[in-house]
Every structure is written in structure tokens, then in C-alpha cells.
Structure 1
């Protein structure tokens, strides 16, 4: 998808956008049921957005996968432009910092495009999911944590750090949100979480940028009590 096509979409549909970045762990430990349920959950998230009149015109989603390195699987796009047949083969290590930095870089480019086309946008959301301990470049991880916490503090980002399973490093995830604890998924119940996420996106899209309703983190579905 070229810059011109993506810009044309914003001009033709100037509805304020809700940018949602999914930054997902696709390391070797995610093989099997985990990755299958995750991909299915993302598909259900897309379907729910498509079927919601408000979210349909507002939501834009990107997907960044990280293992040994990071890869932009889906650039920001409205529901019509989302790739529905995502194929992910888990392998390698857990370069979490590299993944988050790529997700933030992609978000900054999208925000620039919003500004260039005069489209307003709501506070972006970053959903970070991992089942293990980060083992990439430590400087990349520290840079990612600093970038996220700085954006959260200045109300330029809402982040959902989510651990998958008992091996997820909640201490590291907690550094992305020092004001509140990280979250842990119940088993591999991605469906409930993405159902909650789609409803929350719809609720935000019914407001105005700068006047978004507060997110009730206690109501997030599919999450364990820690």
C-alpha cells in the first residue's frame, strides 16, 4: 500500500482515527495453540470492528511481530485495508525492545500522515503481548521503555502490557506502565480480550479527540487477577 493510497483514504474518510498497534511475540515458544488462538483472536477483533458502525470508520490497526528481530506484518489501515489471512510461523528469540520500537516508529509515521491530511486522532493504543523474557539488545529494550513511559506520562499513548502464561516476565512488562501493574492473560483466552478491546475502541470512537472516556482497566476481560 503506497503513501498516496493511504493518504487518499484519510482524505476520503476524515473521521477522527483511533490508532491501535498490536505488538505481538512470535518467538519459538509461541508455537502451537498460543499462536493459533492469537491469530484467531486478531481476526475476531477485525470482524468486530467491521460490524460496528462507529469503530468501522475510526479504527486503524497495525501489527508488529517480534522474535529474533521485528517485522511490520500490517501497516496502519482501516478495516477495509486489513490483511485478513495473517500467516505467522513462530521461531527464534524474544526481541521485545526491537518490536516495541518498530511499533512506535510506525505510529509516529502514521501520526505525521494524520497531520499532513488534517485528520484528527485519539490517543493511540499499544497492545504488547509476550509469553517469555526479553533477550534482545538491552539498549533497544531500555530505549523502548523510555519512549513508552514518556509518551504515557504526556498522555500521548495508552499501553496494555500483557503476559501470556506463567513464563512471561511481568517485571519487565511492568516497567512499561509504572503507574499500574501489567496484565496476564487467562490461559490463552485471546478471544475475550479482543472482544473487550473492540468494544472499547467503539466507545472511544463515539467521543471526540481529547475528550475520550477513561479506560476501565478493571473491566478488561480474559485477564487474571494478579
Structure 2
């Protein structure tokens, strides 16, 4: 039976994986500087992973974007297979719940692939970034909150809810984060955030799967309003 691309990666490189899902708001309010800086930040994240010996072999990234609906724009892949992003379009509403649910579905599917290939993985990371108030399905939003908080409570997911700009609904983001408050991005410091994230991925990849890894809290000052 032919191997899928994702499974080929796991056979060739059985290093324990750090799955990172970026769930990104691409609604109309992200137009202009915010969406351009977001694209630059994601590409900087890819570059930093590629240059780090530990993160290079361990990290796998997927991207879900949400506007009036949710869309998987990058399924989980190692850095060699990640396509640099030329641009992202900002339009439509803010279907946040739909975005998170798609991200979790994609993550669950990838975990099944890991298990089938006999590859260990670290606690997955979900990065949720939005600049407004959700206006998608309230039922989908509630379901997404329940799923995330259950996984976090079972120590099967680490979530980073990040508000972009003054209009971000920090109360809604807080519902996704039972253990730590959500953070607000300082200005448009997407590149600084993704540099911090890549260093955090590297730190996790140097640990043993199942260990608790402390985050670089001091590094938050470089990109977050504290």
C-alpha cells in the first residue's frame, strides 16, 4: 500500500513530534497592515524552525484560517514540506468556533497517523489569534470551547489565545484558556511572537515526551501587553 506524504515523513524521521496548529483570523478587520504582518510572522516562524536543529526534526505545523467559514490551508507537515505564504486575503466575518473545531479535527487526524506509525508526540499546541468578536455559529463556538477546555484539563493540549488589537474579545478568548489568561499582541509584533514560539517549540523538542516543559514567560515581554 502506498504511503501518504505525511506517513513517509514519519518513516524517514521517527523523531517524536511537536504538532503546532495555527488557527488564524482572516476576517475583513484584519485587512492592511495586520494581515501583512501576520504573513511575515508565519514565514519567519518557518525560517526559525528550519534553522534550529532540534525544532527542525520535531516540529509539524498546520494552519487553519477562519473568516465567514473555516478552511484548512496547510495540513500538518515538517518544515521541508511547508510552503512559504505569499499572501492571505482578509474578508468576511469571524467564524471563530468553526475555525477551532476544524483545527481540532485536523489535529486528531494527525495524532491517529502518529499512533499508526508508532511515532511519539509531545502535547500538541493550538495558537488561536483573532482581532474581533466571533459572529459565526454560537453552537459551534460553545462546542469548540468545551473541546479545548476538556483537552487542556486532560493535559492533552496547550492553547495560546492571542488577541490582536484593541477590539479583540478577550473574554471569549479567556473561555478557551482555563489555566492562564489570554494575551494581547503588542501592536503588530507578529514576527516577535512567532520567534518566541519557535524557541518554545525547540525547548519542548529537547525534552522527553510526557515531561512538563516550562514556558519562557520572560520572553512574553517582547511581543505581549503584560
Which residue does 1:223 correspond to in 2? 224
Gaps of at least 5 residues in structure 1 are: none
SS in 2 for 1:16: coil
Q: Normalising by structure 1, what TM-score?
A: 0.96
After TM superposition, the structure 1 stretch with the greater mean CA deviation from structure 2, 193-202 or 2-11, is 2-11
Distance, in Å, in 2 between the alignment partners of 1:141 and 1:217 is: 29
CA contact (8 A) 1:122 1:212 kept: no
1:218 shift after superposition: 5.0
Distance, in Å, in 1 between the alignment partners of 2:57 and 2:212 is: 16
Which residue does 1:163 correspond to in 2? 163
Distance, in Å, in 2 between the alignment partners of 1:3 and 1:82 is: 19
1:3 shift after superposition: 6.2
Question: Could you say if the C-alpha distance between residues 29 and 54 of structure 1 is closer, same or farther in structure 2, counting changes exceeding 3 Å?
Answer: same
Distance, in Å, in 2 between the alignment partners of 1:85 and 1:23 is: 15
Distance, in Å, in 1 between the alignment partners of 2:202 and 2:191 is: 17
Distance, in Å, in 1 between the alignment partners of 2:97 and 2:20 is: 18
1:211 shift after superposition: 1.4
Runs of 4+ in 1 over 3 A off after TM superposition: 216-219
Gaps of at least 5 residues in structure 2 are: none
How many residues matched?
A: 224
Which residue does 1:46 correspond to in 2? 46
Superposed CA deviations along residues 90-126 of structure 1, whole A, max 9, x for unmatched, are 1000000000000000000000000000000000000
1:42 shift after superposition: 0.3
Which residue does 1:85 correspond to in 2? 85
SS in 1 for 2:4: helix
Which residue does 1:129 correspond to in 2? 129
